[in-house]
Structures are given as C-alpha cells and as structure tokens.
C-alpha cells in the first residue's frame, strides 16, 4: 500500500486519508466532535510495525464539506470508513479508537464485524451518558475548575471557545510535564469545525449507546483504560471488558486519558503484543 495523503469520492463529498508504515493494516478511528483524524502525531510509533491508516471526518482536514447536518453523525462516519476499506481493497483490518474515537470503533465493528480482524478501544465508553466520575460531575474535585473555565470562555465565538476549552481541559489528566506540553501544542494549532462540534453535543451524546450490544462483538478485543482518567472514568473500560465476550482489559495504572503519552513504552508494547498474537 502506497504511503502518503490521498482523497477519494463518497456520496456528496470526498474523504481525505493518509497511509504510513507497512505490515498489517491498522485504522485509527477519528473522534466525531469537530477535529481532524491526524492530530495525534505521537501514534506514528505504530507505523513502525503496522500500516497506519487515518481519515478525516467530513468537514475537517483533507475531507470535503458536509451538505446535510446528519452527515456529522457517527453513522455517516462509519459508512465512510467502510467505503475507505473497499477503496483500499482491504479484506480485514485492525480497528483502534480512543475516547469518542472508541465510539466510532465500536459502532463500526458492530456494523461490519466480518471486516474486522481485531478491535482496540482506549479510554472510552459504550454510552454518551458517561459523565459520572469525571470533571463534569459536580461531586468531582475538578468540577469547580471546569465550571470556572466554562464561564470564562462563554463569550468567545464557538470555534475559538471549543479550541480554548479543549486546550485547557485535556491538561487535566495527563500525568507528566512532557505530556502536558504535547497536549498544549496539539490543541493550540488544531482547527475545529464548530457545526460538527455542536452536532456532537446536541445529538450524538444523546443518541450513542451500544452498552447492550457489546455482547454481540465476537472479534478479539483489547480494552485499554487509564486509571487516572478524568474525562472518561476507568470504570467504563472495566465494564466494556466485562461485557465484550473474551475481551482483554489492560489498565494503565499511571495514565490519564492519553496512555500513549503517560506510559508510552507500556502502551505501545501492549498494542503490539495484542495485534501480533
């Protein structure tokens, strides 16, 4: 498979994607809340061992614009991922998603299970109603800080508000100074699609729930949690590993929401070992 950046047409738009590395194909599922699929440059470590494939949701990065509002949803993103698989001529590939990218990974796997070799879900949840035990929970120690930040940015334009908010809150649970610098650098230069972000908040958080369908997943699955994750409680990782038949749980005891930043050696070893088995 040729390495580089490419586009291909889909209904009413086009999808931008990149391919790096060689070996078994590994798709990194993007989040659907308004940012492109290429922000986590530190995941390039995986391209040493796999063919790393990343795509941008419609309205972000290299991909085309959205025509109808429903195209912001994860179901459209799932269809675009399947179109990419067919475009690349891949029979089966490995799927990995972190946070809301895990939502995409789970929904894609449930819709196209025969096309998935192995599934990896990182610091995610099976439902959009996951806020208990996070900084959005009034009982959480970080809640006052979150409330203050929300008030400070309220008057900003939506795109600038989303960028400022994410740049700040993703600092909450990275565990090292180096990781905090990486998060700050990524979000300071990231572009946000404000309409996609609004759709995620108003629609996807309420729509998404695959909790009762986890038992349908039959492919080998690895669930990675961060013990100090304040964005998505690690208890959700434990629940998913319990409900997905024969899933393996790997809890990163010194990590927050981004275990490849907090415990890179352990994270990449765990992923490589799982996919190589």
Could you tell me the two tokens for 1?
């498979």
Q: What is the 3-state secondary structure (H, E, C) of 47-61?
A: HHCCEEEEECCCCCC
Could you tell me the two tokens for 119?
């599934």
Residue 184: strand, helix, or coil: helix
Residues 6+ apart with CB under 8 A from 5: 16, 17, 18, 62
Distance CA 158, CA 192 (A): 9
Specify whether the CB–CB gap between 211 and 108 falls below 8 A: no
Specify whether the CB–CB gap between 137 and 113 falls below 8 A: no
Residue 270: strand, helix, or coil: helix
DSSP assignment letter at 252? E
Q: What is the pLDDT of residue 95?
A: 98
Distance CA 84, CA 104 (A): 14
Could you tell me the two tokens for 256?
């927050």
Q: What is the pLDDT of residue 41?
A: 73
Q: What is the pLDDT of residue 177?
A: 87
Q: What is the pLDDT of residue 18?
A: 97
Q: What is the pLDDT of residue 204?
A: 97
Show the low-confidence residues of the chain (pLDDT under 50).
Answer: none
Distance CA 100, CA 82 (A): 18
Specify whether the CB–CB gap between 224 and 93 falls below 8 A: no
Residue 119: strand, helix, or coil: strand
Q: What is the pLDDT of residue 94?
A: 98
Could you tell me the two tokens for 207?
């729509």
Q: What is the pLDDT of residue 175?
A: 79
Residue 32: strand, helix, or coil: coil
Element (DSSP H or E) covering residue 16? strand 13-20
Q: What is the pLDDT of residue 155?
A: 92
Q: Which of 257, 151, 145, 32 is nearest to 137 (CA)?
A: 145
Q: What is the pLDDT of residue 50?
A: 97
Q: Specify the CATH class of 4-131+194-276 in words.
A: alpha beta
Distance CA 83, CA 267 (A): 29
| Helix, strand, coil content of the chain in percent (nearest 5) | 45, 20, 35
């Amino acid at each position: 498979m040729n390495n580089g950046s490419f586009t291909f047409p889909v209904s009413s738009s086009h999808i931008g994607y990149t391919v790096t590395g060689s070996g078994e194909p590994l798709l990194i599922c993007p989040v659907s809340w308004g940012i492109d699929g290429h922000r986590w440059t530190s995941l390039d470590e995986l391209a040493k061992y796999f063919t790393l494939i990343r795509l941008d949701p419609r309205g972000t990065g290299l991909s085309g614009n959205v025509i109808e509002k429903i195209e912001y949803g994860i179901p459209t993103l799932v269809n675009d991922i399947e179109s990419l698989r067919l475009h690349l001529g891949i029979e089966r590939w490995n799927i990995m998603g972190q946070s809301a990218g895990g939502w995409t990974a789970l929904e894609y796997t449930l819709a196209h299970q025969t096309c998935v070799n192995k599934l990896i879900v990182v610091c995610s949840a099976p439902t959009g109603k996951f806020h208990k035990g996070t900084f959005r929970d009034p009982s959480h120690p970080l809640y006052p800080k979150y409330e203050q930040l929300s008030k400070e940015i309220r008057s900003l334009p939506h795109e600038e508000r989303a960028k400022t908010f994410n740049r700040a809150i993703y600092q909450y649970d990275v565990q090292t100074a180096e990781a905090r610098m990486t998060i700050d650098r990524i979000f300071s230069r990231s572009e946000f699609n404000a309409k996609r972000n609004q759709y995620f908040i108003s629609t996807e958080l309420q729509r998404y729930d695959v909790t009762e369908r986890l038992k349908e997943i039959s492919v080998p699955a690895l669930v990675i949690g961060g013990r100090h994750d304040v964005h998505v409680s690690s208890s959700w990782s434990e629940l998913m590993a319990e409900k997905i038949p024969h899933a393996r749980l790997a809890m990163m005891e010194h990590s927050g929401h981004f275990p490849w930043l907090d415990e890179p050696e352990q994270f990449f070893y765990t992923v490589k070992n799982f996919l190589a088995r």
